[in-house]
Structure 1
């Protein structure tokens, strides 16, 4: 009998997750199929119950459900609980167990492209949503001490810091304050959807005071080069899009479901082919 997997979100039709996971299922001869499910916030509880009722074997969780889904799961992994967000769910004997692969997936991608130690670097994280939670808690759990957060709503950023159980020295700023002090930071990480297709003209903040030897990372992969990355490149900064994070977090999710860690480079190439672009 075919095993069903999927991804839930709102919106969700743009997702390339079915392409990479169905390719991996085929490559490893697994009788499984991955589908995207459009689930609005008001239907989240019903959707989780329905997926359990029909025996869905696992699914990914994306915007805006990563935090809201937690009360609807039977169990949540310790790391995901600390982060306060879930992006991967596996069906274990009829029980839905939640994990978060965003943070570690991002860290693997960052280390792959940023060939320096992170220990003494000053990092500015932009945003305080579900993806930010995973990345922030993973960074400070790894002992990276100098991670600050900028967000439109400062109180939400403070909640993120307070909710994360790992020792940190984080300062919280408004977007305007962060723009004023950008020259303090070696690495910028955008975790917001500002600049994601179809709103490609948007930027989460201005880069007038960015250091020209900074590293600017955007977790968006569609488009492959956001307006933020274009602006950073014009200031001679190194840039990284969200393709690596997307592939690594997907590979980690696939491993949770199947016990197999798939080929990350193959996953990246599928996304590139789907988007009709090349890596930046």
Structure 2
């Protein structure tokens, strides 16, 4: 029941209406008995400064953001956490009496999702396909979680050299290679226990795979394969890996667990993960039908 004591939280993006974040957080408020409400707000980069001023004035409890607002917002915040500074990206903001603090919970959401499946990253070898925002967040969190080695494959475009230097500077466990080097992709994947697709290949109706058939032959029962995509629930990449006997997981675990990080910072309480995952799975299935 919304009343005069209801605390408001939100999601800032353009467009914003498609987001599952309202479902995730409003389900969490209801199950946890917290008097809160979470809404989606369509905000562009041009309107961001004014929006944050309003957030302070109206004492909004906190909010999430999507790209490009994840980077644009930093200039308007009072403080950011070390992990947000490393990534130069913020997906969560907490309003502490008008003092806005930015954090990044994306990568930890990936780590926590795997922990729930009894998969830990300590001393593991890992391959990450893609070095966009999701990929970098995962790499950063994997370093903090104690991974032994991370092979990263990124498209050899104008940003390759800069990102290679940045990621390899984070830790000597990281090695970055051109995505197009299919021959050299096979050995790292064969040596890995965890393989992550952090690209958007396979999203929605895309029937493409982020790896070739030759590379897919390296997958087997020894692999945990994760796709950050959750629409559809099973991408062509996950289907192919499952046929090779790999243990496969879609992006819903990461989606919900990164939200759980926000929820904890805002409320001080743990998100009811199981109930939220059930609600999100149902919502995605309904979207697929429509």
TM-score (norm 2): 0.84
Whole-angstrom distance in 1 between the partners of 2:120 and 2:26:
35
Is residue 169 of structure 1 aligned with residue 173 of structure 2? yes
The answer to whether the 8 Å contact 1:196/1:223 transfers is yes
Q: Which residue of the partner structure matches residue 13 of structure 1?
A: 17
Q: Shift in Å at residue 180 of structure 1?
A: 4.6
Q: Which residue of the partner structure matches residue 268 of structure 1?
A: 277
User: Which ranges of structure 1 fall in alignment gaps of 5 or more residues?
Assistant: none
Q: Could you say what secondary structure the match of 2:70 adopts?
A: coil
Is residue 125 of structure 1 aligned with residue 132 of structure 2? no
Per-residue CA distance 1:190-248 (angstroms, 9 max, x = gap) = 22233333x43344343532323233211111211112212322333321111111121
Is residue 216 of structure 1 aligned with residue 225 of structure 2? yes
User: Which ranges of structure 2 fall in alignment gaps of 5 or more residues?
Assistant: none
Whole-angstrom distance in 2 between the partners of 1:204 and 1:44:
34
Q: Which residue of the partner structure matches residue 8 of structure 2?
A: 4
Q: Shift in Å at residue 13 of structure 1?
A: 2.2
The answer to whether the 8 Å contact 2:121/2:142 transfers is no
Q: Which of 199, 203, 206 matches 1:192?
A: 199
Whole-angstrom distance in 2 between the partners of 1:5 and 1:77:
20
Q: Which of 79, 97, 102 matches 1:98?
A: 102
Q: Could you say what secondary structure the match of 2:159 adopts?
A: helix
Is residue 76 of structure 1 aligned with residue 83 of structure 2? no
Alignment of 1:120-269 (within 5 A): 120-121=124-125, 123-153=126-156, 156=159, 158-160=161-163, 162-163=165-166, 166-178=170-182, 180-185=184-189, 186=192, 187-197=194-204, 199-210=205-216, 211-213=218-220, 214-269=223-278
Whole-angstrom distance in 1 between the partners of 2:38 and 2:106:
19
Whole-angstrom distance in 2 between the partners of 1:59 and 1:221:
22
The 1:178–1:225 alpha-carbon spacing in structure 2 relative to 1, beyond 3 Å, is same
Structure whose residues are more often helix by fraction: 2
Q: Shift in Å at residue 259 of structure 1?
A: 0.4
Q: Which residue of the partner structure matches residue 30 of structure 1?
A: 34
Whole-angstrom distance in 2 between the partners of 1:88 and 1:179:
39
Whole-angstrom distance in 2 between the partners of 1:117 and 1:191:
17
User: Structure 1: which 4+ aligned runs deviate by more than 6 Å?
Assistant: none
Q: Which of 57, 60, 65 matches 2:69?
A: 65
Q: Shift in Å at residue 154 of structure 1?
A: 5.2
Whole-angstrom distance in 1 between the partners of 2:56 and 2:154:
36
The 1:156–1:265 alpha-carbon spacing in structure 2 relative to 1, beyond 3 Å, is farther
Whole-angstrom distance in 2 between the partners of 1:117 and 1:135:
11
Comparing 97-106 with 38-47, which one deviates more in the overlay? 38-47
Per-residue CA distance 1:104-146 (angstroms, 9 max, x = gap) = 110111233364664142x221222222222111111223131
Whole-angstrom distance in 2 between the partners of 1:111 and 1:237:
17
Aligned residues: 275
Q: Shift in Å at residue 157 of structure 1?
A: 5.1
The structure that has the greater radius of gyration is 2
The answer to whether the 8 Å contact 1:119/1:144 transfers is yes
